[in-house]
Amino acid sequence: MARTMAGTVFNHPVHSLDFVKVTESAALAASRWMGRGERDAADGAAVEKMREALGDMEISGRIVIGEGERDEAPMLFIGEEVGAGGEEVDIAVDPVEGTNLVANGLPNSIAVMAISERGGLLHAPDSYMKKLAVGPKSAPYVHIDAPVRENLEAVANALEKPINDVCVVILDRPRHAELIKEVREAGARIRLISDGDVDACIATAIDNTGIHVAMGTGGAPEGVLAAAAIKCLGGNFMGRLQPRNQEEADRAVAMGFGDLNRVLEIDDLVKSDNVIFCASGITDGDLVRGVRFFGNQARTHSIHVHSGGTVRFIESIHRLGARPTGR
């Protein structure tokens, strides 16, 4: 593999597989809380295990997207340094993408992270972002400012299928009422999801998921995470910040965003061509399966994508310790 930067993480993709252990740890911890109605407990357990796993890695990591600012989060806060020392990398994490999904035992919750060389990932404000995601075949033909029907017709043509075979994923929110109406009028099918649009965006770039487009407004940090995977997969992701109030708008300007109305292309969100993305399923989803417990073991299912273009689906079995005997 061509040498593109110092160190080992990006020059030897096999080493990058170690990051899967980090998302596996978070998924295992959060899955214990599935369906128990305690989203904060699930998130807290995953954060602790993800932070612990990152601390053991031979990297000098900096959290650029995490659990919030230092005064809001005890660990994995933005700017926190993680790792045991080594190559300098930037890290975006979401230990539980879809906390409500875990709490309610619903599909498509994942533990997710993206890694790049320093400066490679946009430090997105905790705000909303309008998003458009498609796979590689449709990538050149869509634009976030194009009419909904025009984009969907372009996707149908690129995929060589009728528009009524195109499936669009949209977060089920009142703000999307007009978008849903336009998609239906265009003739495409819709899958509404309650939470977790990172999984949905990435699924557009993976064959056989049955998802072709993701549209609508969701979290900006989650947009960067999705864009990291989609860039590796050759798809297209576009966004535009949608601050919910003046405070969020002022914060984005202070972070150097300038024109908040500008379109954020995938190379704006993920500046580096050296990127690693991995996610482990907490609950069953379109992209990966959730954690399964059996005896004193558990099975995890993860996806690992490197900017070289290789996609790996990894199934692991973890020994959980001695099984209690009881009476």
Domains of the chain, start order: 13-121+275-319 (3.30.540.10), 128-269 (3.40.190.90)
pLDDT at residue number 69: 73
29 against 248, higher pLDDT? 29
List, in sequence order, every residue forming a beta bridge with 7; answer none if it has no partner.
Answer: none
Query: Among 272, 281, 265, which residue's Cα sits nearest to residue 307?
Result: 272
Give me the phi and psi of 22, to 5 degrees please. -70, -50
**Other Cβ atoms within 10 Å of 317 Cβ, number:** 10
3-state secondary structure of 220: helix
Task: Categorize the per-residue pLDDT at 255 as very low, low, confident or very high, splitting at 50, 70 and 90.
Answer: confident
DSSP state of 322: P
Q: What is the mean pLDDT of residues 247-260?
A: 83
Q: What is the pLDDT of residues 209-231, one digit of tens each?
A: 999 999 999 999 999 999 999 99
Q: What is the pLDDT of residues 154-179, one digit of tens each?
A: 999 999 999 999 999 999 999 999 99
pLDDT at residue number 10: 58
pLDDT at residue number 4: 40
pLDDT at residue number 265: 96
Q: What would you measure as the largest C-alpha separation in the chain, in angstroms? A: 66
Give me the phi and psi of 302, to 5 degrees please. -135, 160
Give the mean pLDDT of the chain: 91
Query: Among 110, 112, 147, 117, which residue's Cα sits nearest to residue 132?
Result: 147
3-state secondary structure of 186: helix
Contacts of 31 (CB under 8 A, 6+ apart): 102, 282, 283, 290, 291, 293, 298
pLDDT at 326 over 80: no
Q: Tell me the C-alpha to C-alpha distance, in Å, between residue 123 and each of 186, 202, 276, 304.
A: 35, 20, 17, 22
Q: What is the mean pLDDT of residues 24-31?
A: 98
What percent of the chain clears pLDDT 90, i.e. is strictly above it? 78
pLDDT at residue number 164: 97
**pTM to 2 decimals?**
0.90
